[in-house]
């Protein structure tokens, strides 16, 4: 399936909602998705990013993303922005990425429920544990 992406801005709630579909076979595509979403949030002074990955087929080695996450931490890209990753229920949750984000104390969480993801983005409310390893 061909990889596509689109976004919409929710100015009232200060969110970028980024939806992607198709197959991602190289980690660079996911890095580009994250960078685009962050650039939009910064440009429009938004505080949250919802990455809807429910229609994505991820077939890549996530290890190279560690450098990107370390750069985010070092350069304080996420000082006022939180990222919620929305995945399909029961799908591959990518515990490695969750673990790295937790270890680096990045405001990135993974959810299987859109309402829980948005609750965390808007109100810092996590309710029942998110689909994050180590929390």
Residue 46: inside a domain, yes or no? yes
Residue 35: inside a domain, yes or no? yes
Q: What is the pLDDT of residue 2?
A: 85
pLDDT (tens digit per residue) in 3-30: 888 999 999 999 999 998 888 877 777 7
Range of the domain at 95: 4-123
Residue 53: inside a domain, yes or no? yes
Q: What is the pTM of this model?
A: 0.84
Into how many domains does the chain fold? 1
Q: What is the pLDDT of residue 127?
A: 59
Residue 133: inside a domain, yes or no? no
Contact 50, 17 (CB under 8 A): yes
Residue 128: inside a domain, yes or no? no
Q: Which residue has the tokens 């965390």?
A: 120
Residue 70: inside a domain, yes or no? yes
Q: What CATH number does residue 28 fall under?
A: 3.30.750.24
Residue 131: inside a domain, yes or no? no
Q: What is the pLDDT of residue 133?
A: 41
Q: Which residue has the tokens 């990135």?
A: 108
Contact 86, 50 (CB under 8 A): yes
């Amino acid at each position: 399936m061909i990889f596509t992406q689109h976004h919409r801005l929710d100015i009232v709630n200060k969110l970028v909602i980024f939806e992607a579909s198709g197959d991602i076979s190289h980690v660079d595509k996911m890095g580009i998705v994250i960078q685009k979403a962050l650039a939009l949030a910064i440009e429009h002074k938004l505080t949250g990013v919802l990455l809807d990955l429910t229609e994505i087929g991820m077939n890549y080695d996530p290890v190279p993303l560690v450098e990107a996450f370390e750069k985010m931490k070092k350069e304080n890209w996420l000082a006022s922005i939180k990222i919620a990753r929305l995945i399909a229920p029961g799908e591959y949750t990518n515990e490695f990425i969750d673990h790295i984000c937790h270890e680096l104390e990045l405001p990135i969480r993974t959810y299987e429920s859109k309402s829980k993801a948005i609750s965390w983005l808007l109100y810092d409310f996590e309710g029942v544990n998110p689909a994050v390893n180590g929390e």
